[in-house]
Amino acid sequence: MNGQYIPITGRDGEFSAYRAVPASGTGPGVLVLQEIFGVNHNMRDICDGLAEAGFVALCPDLFWRIKPGIELDDHVDADLQRAFQLFGEFDVEAGMTDIAVALAHLRKDPACTGKAGAIGYCLGGLLAYLTACRTDSDATVGYYGVGIEGRLAEADALDRPLLLHIAGKDQFVPAEAQARIHAAFDEHAMIRLEDYPDEDHAFARPDGDHYGEQSAGVANALTLQFLKQGLT
């Protein structure tokens, strides 16, 4: 871990965010949107990796309204059950308020060039999609977002690039939902869909049960290329 936690003053209170900065000291910003396990080591590792790639990464604690500082391990049964409980308790609209605040904070970060985008996983994949649709994020990436198919009309307002990675065997995004996403977005000028037919949910999480090293490598390379194009 080479980053640190910083406070952000939101509209309804203060919350923390993990911040990682490239060795150069400056770079475009990327807001990292958490899975249902909170800002845990996986999210911090993603931030650190983005910093190594030249980005200023910021991962806000989006569960702070429920309980600040939640950090869960998907390999622990009790943590897994708690994570699904948090998914049910999470207020998406309140979370989007915090995301907008965090994105504005990132743009004003002294290390940020002013360009800023977002990337999200699982719950964060849905939030990344909404971030692309509702905010001024310059380029946005979502990995296996859950529930996008229920919010397709949001993309009518989308005018900046969005990349969505879709796991073909995603247990939380069934084939019917994927078909609806494709039908709505295949011809959308701002949206790029990338499919991984043999992968399950969370295939890009290195220590996860469904990690697909080859597909994750392809997805992550596309993501970095997409962010560099959109943010530099």
Active site residues per annotation:
170, 201
Rounded CA separation 92/97 (Å)? 9
Q: Which of 80, 158, 157 is nearest to 122 (CA)?
A: 80
How does 67-76 read in b/e, with b if 16+ C-beta sit within 10 Å? Answer: eeebbbebee
Q: Which of 212, 53, 31 is nearest to 124 (CA)?
A: 31
> DSSP 3-state assignment of 117?
strand
Rounded CA separation 182/139 (Å)? 20
The residues, ordered by sequence, that sit 6+ positions from 88 with a Cβ below 8 Å of its Cβ are: none
From the CA atom positions of the chain, what is the Rg in Å?
16
Is the Cβ–Cβ distance between 146 and 125 less than 8 Å? yes
Q: What six digits make up the tokens of 106?
A: 């990132």
